[in-house]
Amino acid sequence: MTKPLESWNDGPTKQALLDFVAIVSDESNADYLPPSERVATFDNDGTLWVEKPAYVQLLFAIQRLKDMAEADPGLLGQPAFQAAAADDLGYFAALYPDDLPALMQVVFDSHAGMPQQEFEILAYDFLSQARHPRFGVVYKQCIYQPMLELMDYLQVNGFRVFIASAGGMSFMRTVAEEIYQVPRENVIGSNITFEVGRQDGKLILLRRPGLVDPPDDGPGKPINIELHIGRPPVLAAGNSNGDIEMMEYAEASGRPFLNLLLHHDDARREYAYNAGAEKALRLAGERNWTVVSMKDDFRTVFPFEAR
């Protein structure tokens, strides 16, 4: 029989996961939670899949800007199109975190006016065909095997698993069922607005410029979790400062909770960086949140490693 969480090294972190699930699933335990209250939320970028050398959806948007500039060279007069054509990731990286709205506008408005069905086909094709520059596999394979096992283990034990990410909801939904076994409707993310159009006499949804407020990052995460789920999580997993409020929402739920902060500290197998997670790491130490060390806690990082 397969042991749970096989890709996790034995140690305090793995034991904390097993203990928490056992406690809230045991009807004889004072901290038992009925299945309806066993809600788990996972960030995506940097928590479920790789976010370096840049956010995957940003790379997708850059490709779109390149294609648009090729069709209309006049667009190269705009800085974002110039940077995309030159593969200047530094231009886009400089927008984060101080000018996140501008970065998100580049990402989301790059497909404005496109039918939603066409967008999803492009997104799925990108994730299935474009290859990570370091690992050489398609992006939908750049997912963390231990986190896949954790989501599966939670679902086996009566948890409802959701993705709550700053990334585009439609973008993630194209592969969520295939790579995470998470239903499309359980994916929460930043979202654009739509309008109804018609094509060949049939109703279609068209993507409009602009984001639905608030974006699903930082304080927007608990708001969107409430809007989509109607319950706070009792297990929240993230990797950055943008996940703090989601973890505080679990902490404030009044129920037993477990917060997981994935620390990217494995330069050999993935990447090592603290940028964008400094406050979250500090709060994890102060509030006894569980810090998951990629180097120490992950026996295997990617599914393709195991093969």
- The answer to whether residue 193 is domain-embedded is yes
**Residue numbers of the domain that contains 227:** 12-49+143-306
pTM: 0.95
201 lies in some domain: yes
Residue 211 counted as domain residue: yes
> Domains in the chain: how many in total?
2
Q: 11, 13, 4, 8: which is closest to 284 by C-alpha?
A: 13
What CATH number corresponds to the domain at position 45?
A: 3.40.50.1000
> Which tens digits make up the pLDDT trace of 194-246?
999 999 999 999 999 988 999 999 999 999 999 999 999 999 999 999 999 99
The answer to the question of residue 5 being in a domain is no
C-alpha 174/C-alpha 151 separation (Å) is 18
Tens-digit pLDDT profile for residues 10-38: 999 999 999 999 999 999 999 999 999 99
Distance, in Å, from the CA atom of 183 to the CA atom of 133, rounded to the nearest integer, reads 29
pLDDT attached to residue 123? 97
Between the CA atoms of 292, 298, 304 and 307, what dihedral angle is there, to the nearest 10 degrees? -160
Pair (149, 289) in one structural domain: yes
Q: Are residues 294 and 276 in the same domain?
A: yes
- What's the token pair of residue 2? 């397969």
Q: Where are the beta strands (DSSP E) in the chain?
A: 39-42, 160-168, 187-190, 192-199, 202-211, 235-238, 258-263, 290-293
Does 227 lie in the same domain as 248? yes
Residue 279 forms part of a structural domain:
yes
Asked if 123 and 175 sit in the same domain, the reply is no
Lowest mean pLDDT among 24-38, 65-79, 97-111, 191-205: 97-111
Three-class secondary structure of residue 195 per DSSP: strand
